[in-house]
Amino acid sequence: MAAMERRADVVWTGDLKGSGRLRVGSGAFPEQTVTFDARTGAPDGKTSPEELIAAAHATCFSMAFSNTLATNGATPEQLDVTATCTLERLPSGLRITAMELAVRGRVGGIDDARFKELAQLAESKCPVSNALRGNVDITVRAELAPAGVQAAT
């Protein structure tokens, strides 16, 4: 596979307390407003780099986990993944310190222990996890939903 590039552009106005307009090259979602206040306080309808990283991580892990399950003989029906990115104010400044992946899934042909094991394997293969690894503490909480139960977390 050839190398893939994706693009996002931000036009920022003012100092740190100013605001930016974020656009993604694909046009997959409308222009978003980003502000420092939304990053460190209430989002108030605006996004932040941490929310975007969490969105990327949840999506990437979902793909990696569904593939890991399928290649290990399990049939993924539905995976509900939540990624929570933690930004902390440290003496050295703001730092993304942790990412938690929580997944609950309906998967045929597998037990809870194997589901958890494969979730860890998928996390180790996830490109976004690997981009963050060594700099951000990544944890995975995995729960197999009982048969006939919605997977939603």
pLDDT digits (tens, 9 = 90+) for 107-120: 998 999 999 999 99
Structure tokens, 23: 């656009």
Are 13 and 55 contained in the same domain?
no
Are 18 and 76 contained in the same domain?
no
Percent of the chain at pLDDT > 90 equals: 91
Are 77 and 129 contained in the same domain?
yes
pLDDT bucket at 150, cuts 50 / 70 / 90: low
Print the domain residue range for 19. Answer: 8-40
SS (H, E, C) 76-120: EEEEEEEEEEEEEEECCEEEEEEEEEEEEEEEECCCHHHHHHHHH
DSSP 145: P
Are 101 and 70 contained in the same domain?
yes
pLDDT digits (tens, 9 = 90+) for 92-149: 999 999 999 999 999 998 999 999 999 999 999 999 999 999 999 999 999 999 865 5
pLDDT digits (tens, 9 = 90+) for 35-48: 999 999 999 999 99
Mean pLDDT of 78-94: 96
Are 91 and 130 contained in the same domain?
yes
Task: Answer yes or no: is pLDDT of 19 > 60.
Answer: yes
End-to-end CA, the chain: 34
